[in-house]
Amino acid sequence: MSDAQMNGFDTLQVHAGTAPDPATGARQVPIYQTTSYVFKDADHAARLFNLEEVGYIYSRLTNPTVGALADRIVALEGGAGGVCTSSGHAAQIMALYPLMAPGRNIVASTRLYGGTYTQFTQVFKRFGWSCTFVDFDDPAAIEAAIDEDTRAIFCESLANPVGYPIDLEAVAKVADKAGLPLVVDNTSATPYLCRPIDHGATLVVHSTTKYLTGNGTVTGGAIVDSGKFDWSASGKFPSLSEPEPAYHGVNFHGALGAMAFTFHSIAIGLRDLGMTMNPQAAHYTLMGIETLSLRMRKHVENAQKVAEWLEAHDKVDKVNYAGLKSSPAHEVGKRIFPRGTGALFTVALKGGYEDCVKLVSNLKLFSHVANLGDTRSLIIHSASTTHRQLTDEQREAAGAGNNVVRLSIGIEDADDIIADLDQALAAL
C-alpha cells in the first residue's frame, strides 16, 4: 500500500515513508549507520551526481533512515517533498538559503521564539540578510513592510512562548499578492493540529526535537515544501529558476518542477552547509511520530483543564491560552486549529518577576528545562532564559514579559499536574 493510498492521519504516522527492509525483512526502519554507499559502476555514480537518478551518495546528503523520516513528515504535512536537518534552527536557515542573497530581507512576526529572533537579527547580518518584524494580526502592516528586496514571509503557526495562533489564511493572502513564499514554523502545533500548506503556506519548518519526537532524546529539524510555488514567475529566486553555477548549471525549477526546492536543499543546502540529521536521531523521531496523534490529543485535553484551573486562581493575573474563551485569539484558534490550540501557553503572575522565579523553584512534577513538546510537563521563565537577550519591549511583544512563565503541558494525569501547580502557588 503506497503513501498515496493512505488517508487517515493515524495510519500515515505509523506507515508513511516506510516498508519492510528489502534486505532483511526488518519491520522497523533500520538505522543505516554509514557514511557512504557503493556505486554499481561509474555510469551509476554519474547519474546520481547529475540528478538523473535518485539514490544514495553520501550521508551528508541522503541516508535511508533520515529519508524515511523526511517522507513521513512530508506525508503528514501534505507536502511534495522535504529534507531533515540537524536542528530546528538549521531547518530555518536551510529553508531561507535558496531564497536569499546579500541585501535581501524577510518580513517576520513579532511573536517568535527568542532564539529565532536572535537568529533573524544577529546571524542574518553575517549573511548580509535582514528582517523586519511586524504584528501579524495586522495584514496591512505585513503588506506595508514588504519591499523590492523582500524574499519571504515568516511566522510560527502557534507562536512560542504564548501558543498564540496566527491567522495563516490572512497572512497567505498577503504573501500571494506579493508573489512571495510563506514560511511557517509548525513546531508547536504539529501536522496533527494544523497543516499550514492547507492554509496557503509554501514551506513548513519543524524542530523535530519537540512534539514530533516527543520524548526529549534527540535534536532535529525538517523542511517540507508544498511544491505549489512558482519559483520562476518573478525572477526573484535565481538559485531555483536559473542555471546553478555550483551544480554544473542545472536549472532546478526547470528540470525538477514541484521537487525543485527539495532537490536544491539536498544537492546545494546539505552539501554546502552540512546541517545533516544523524540516522540514530531520525530513528528516535520515527518511533516518536508513531504515537503523535495519541499524545497530541492528551496534551490538548490536559492543557485545557490546566489553563481553566489557572485562570480561576487568585495569584494568577492572566492565562494566555487560545483554548480559553477569554482569549482574544479564541476564534482564530478554533478556525485554524479545530483539534485544539496545542499545549503551550503562558501564565502571568500577580507577584511579578520574583513570584515567577519562586514558582519555577517550587514545582516538583514539572521539569525546569529549555525545551517544549515533551511527554513531561515543563516550565521555564522566558524573560530570564530563552528571551533574556531581548529588550523589555521586545519581550513584551513576543509575549515573554518579566511576570510570565511558559508552560508546556505533558501527558501525565491532569489532576497531578494541577496539584503540583497548586502546592507551588500556595508557597508563594
pLDDT in tens, 298-319: 999 999 999 999 999 999 999 9
pLDDT of residue 239: 96
Q: What is the C-alpha separation between 361 and 358, in angstroms, rounded? A: 5
pLDDT at 196 over 70: yes
pLDDT of residue 386: 63
User: Average pLDDT of the chain?
Assistant: 94
pLDDT of residue 2: 64
pLDDT in tens, 125-145: 999 999 999 999 999 999 999
pLDDT in tens, 338-354: 999 999 999 999 999 89
The model's confidence at residue 279, banded by pLDDT at 50, 70 and 90, is very high
377: left (phi over 0), alpha (psi -120 to 50) or beta: beta
* Non-local CB neighbours of 142 within 8 Å, separated by 6+ positions: 107, 134, 136, 153, 171, 174
Q: What is the C-alpha separation between 9 and 22, in angstroms, rounded? A: 25
pTM of the complete model: 0.94
pLDDT of residue 121: 95
* Non-local CB neighbours of 425 within 8 Å, separated by 6+ positions: 313, 315, 316, 359
Domains of the chain: 3-99+181-288 (3.40.640.10), 293-426 (3.90.1150.10)
pLDDT of residue 332: 96
pLDDT of residue 382: 78
pLDDT of residue 64: 96
Average the pLDDT over 163-192 and give the result: 98
Average the pLDDT over 68-90 and give the result: 98
pLDDT at 1 over 60: no
pLDDT of residue 388: 63
Phi, psi of 306 (to 5 degrees): -65, -40
Q: What is the C-alpha separation between 241 and 8, in angstroms, rounded? A: 35
The model's confidence at residue 387, banded by pLDDT at 50, 70 and 90, is low
Q: What is the C-alpha separation between 201 and 168, in angstroms, rounded? A: 8
Q: What is the C-alpha separation between 150 and 132, in angstroms, rounded? A: 9
What share of the chain has pLDDT > 90, as a percent?
86
Q: Report the Cα–Cα distance between both ends of the chain, in Å, rounded.
A: 57
pLDDT at 210 over 70: yes
The model's confidence at residue 254, banded by pLDDT at 50, 70 and 90, is very high
pLDDT of residue 398: 64
pLDDT at 240 over 70: yes
